[in-house]
Structure 1
């Protein structure tokens, strides 16, 4: 039994120049056979993990040969579809908040577009660690969804201190954040992409100047924009605030064997929190294998979407 998540294909070349196309790199399933030196798993155990970038196998295979150090046990009570759909975004949220932003209780954080899968993971993880969470909504449906977010246990107060709509004309992001923080700004900003120039603003992503404006003194801006460019005035402004900018790349954990221990700890903590309801991903529908091509075509047209492909009956 294997369940795969399709994502935008990553193309690499191996040492002889052959193209490797990695598709559906998030996997969950049952161990069929182990090698003589494997010590962490036994046959018939359920596992979950992410294929490394240099893996020659696609996730859309009935059997995948993978090193044990890329997998963790899946709790029995955790849905296979749920965990495989949100695993990558949860790793990204941990990387952004723990590793890059060094979050601490009583910090404040602005999560841009909190209704997407990555934003939702950031919101729940930040709230769990005692941060004050602000977020933006990009539609009336997203705004209602974010306003109604509540924890599964304990006091049923909202997870989010304020949801800022950015779809009603000119953005009021900066004044809303400053109002909510007493003019001080937020300690952490996590974006899902930004605009670098005014003429680019064709959607609801914030402008880079807005995010710099809402940063508090000593704040951390974690960006998902791989081509972010800061002009000298931007750098001077960040320097005056003693603020920092970090680039979010969740794939970095598998780039060095020295990080495998921390990476596996993160994966295990993610599945444990999902199994107890602390992290609640958005529900996903699993596609049967014969619809995998249709799912991939949809993702290529809409890169922000996800699709889970079911190779055999799962829970």
Structure 2
């Protein structure tokens, strides 16, 4: 099969289109999927530069997100049949089991039926960001109707999904963006208020928006100074969940004085530790989101679609930092 293979870490050009053996079903609950598209995420670029979670496994195929058609099933598979259209987040953190390829083999427990409302390209853009936003807002924070929520970088891959999930839960949403075009996009998604972080102090905006009380929770997808500046925007006892690792020299005084609850979200943890129940939960998240897509309550923005052979270009564009929505690799596996 054709696959984009990485033999060493480095610049995007270490990603090379190659011909390798296709994976085969080895366990009774596995399904083999003929991939039609693969999502590209910032974590892919980080693993390419710094190394994978499993450097001992080579060659490496990146890409956690995939969507395609079931080609064959293991003897104990119950939920899927040949010909079913599916989407999932699996592999891509080390070794040859990523989705920048024509085929993937994955345990059925971590897979969901593709939303009928989405194309394969749109479905491939969705899993990692859906799971990340869902776990942050529901599993970490316990978002509920009436909450005032601040979502940083609302036009990004995770952010634009988080806005929608927060609104579906009945929350009010304030979000930060870098320009007016992204502001308009977030307003279309349902954000109640949008602020340009380069022109305003988002903490002051959040306090004004919440009538001085502070917002109930903040979802930080940016990290660094944005994380620490968020302390002052939260109500006493509020929740702050971040996707990034806080700096070792961070001053926690304001967070401590305001009795904040700090949560960390890394949706790849269950994959890394092979936590079966947690991974099943992530598959269930995708099934719940599929229903929301098909009900017209949830959408995914694809910024651009590139052929598999141009994976390096996709990485370059993500690293430039100007992408709104998701980049996707289209895979011709006929």
Q: Name the TM tier (shorter chain).
A: 0.7 to 0.9
Instruction: State the SS of the aligned residue for 2:211.
Output: coil
- 292, 300, 308: which is aligned to 2:328? 308
Q: 1:183, CA displacement in angstroms?
A: 0.6
Q: Is contact 2:236-2:258 (8 Å) kept?
A: yes
Cα distance 1:132–1:68, how it changes in 2: closer, same or farther (>3 A)?
A: same
Relative to structure 1, the CA distance from residue 61 to residue 174 in structure 2 (aligned partners, 3 Å threshold; closer, same or farther) is closer
Give the equivalent residue in structure 2 for 1:244. 261
Q: Is 1:32 equivalent to 2:71 in the alignment?
A: yes
Q: Decide whether aligned partners of structure 1 residues 230 and 294 sit closer, same or farther in structure 2, where only a CA change above 3 A counts.
A: closer
Q: Judge conservation of contact 2:39–2:328 (CA < 8 Å) in 1.
A: yes
Seen in structure 2, the aligned counterparts of structure 1 residues 128 and 42 have a Cα distance that, compared at 3 Å, is same
1:182 equivalent in alignment to 2:202: no
> Any residues of structure 2 matched to 1:51-90 within 5 Å, and which?
51-52=90-91, 53=93, 56-90=96-130
* Pairing of 1:115-134 with structure 2 (within 5 A): 115-134=155-174
Match of 1:154 in 2: none
**What's the counterpart of residue 18 of structure 2?**
none
Report Cα offsets for 1:49-72 as digits up to 9, x if no partner.
Answer: 011345632312222122212211
Which has the larger displacement, 280-289 or 135-144?
A: 280-289
Match of 1:156 in 2: none
Alignment of 1:167 with 2:198, yes or no, is yes
Partners of 1:236 and 1:77 in 2: CA distance: 47
Counterpart of 1:203 in structure 2 is none
Deviation of the 1:22 alpha carbon: 3.9
Judging by fraction of residues, say which structure has more strand.
Answer: 2
Consecutive unaligned residues of structure 1, counting only runs of 5 or more, are 151-158, 197-205
Alignment of 1:134-153 (within 5 A): 134-147=174-187, 149=188
How many corresponding residue pairs? 290
Looking at structure 1, the residues matched to 213 and 328 of structure 2 have their Cα atoms a distance apart, in angstroms, of 42
- Work out whether residues 25 and 50 of structure 1, in 8 Å CA contact, stay in contact via their aligned partners in 2: yes
TM-score (norm 2): 0.78
Provide the C-alpha distance between the structure 2 equivalents of 1:12 and 1:136, rounded to a whole number of angstroms. Answer: 31
1:5 aligned residue (39, 45, 52)? 39
- 8 A Cα contact 1:178 1:185, kept in partner: yes
Sort the Cα spacing of 1:77 and 1:174 in 2 relative to 1 into closer, same or farther, 3 A: closer
Alpha-carbon deviations, 1:200-236, whole Å to 9, x = none? xxxxxx361x2100111110111122243464xx434
Task: Report the Cα offset of residue 300 of structure 1.
Answer: 4.8
Give the counterpart of 1:21 among 36, 55, 60. 60
Structure 2 residue aligned with 1:199: none
1:114 aligns with 2:154: yes
The worse-fitting range, judged by mean Cα deviation, of 213-222 and 285-294 is 285-294
1:146-203 superposed Cα distances (whole Å, 9 cap, x missing partner): 23x15xxxxxxxx2222122223xx32222111111110001011122334xxxxxxx
The change in CA–CA distance for 1:22 and 1:220 in structure 2 (over 3 A counts) is farther
Specify every segment of 5 or more residues in structure 2 that has no aligned partner in the other structure, as ranges: 1-33
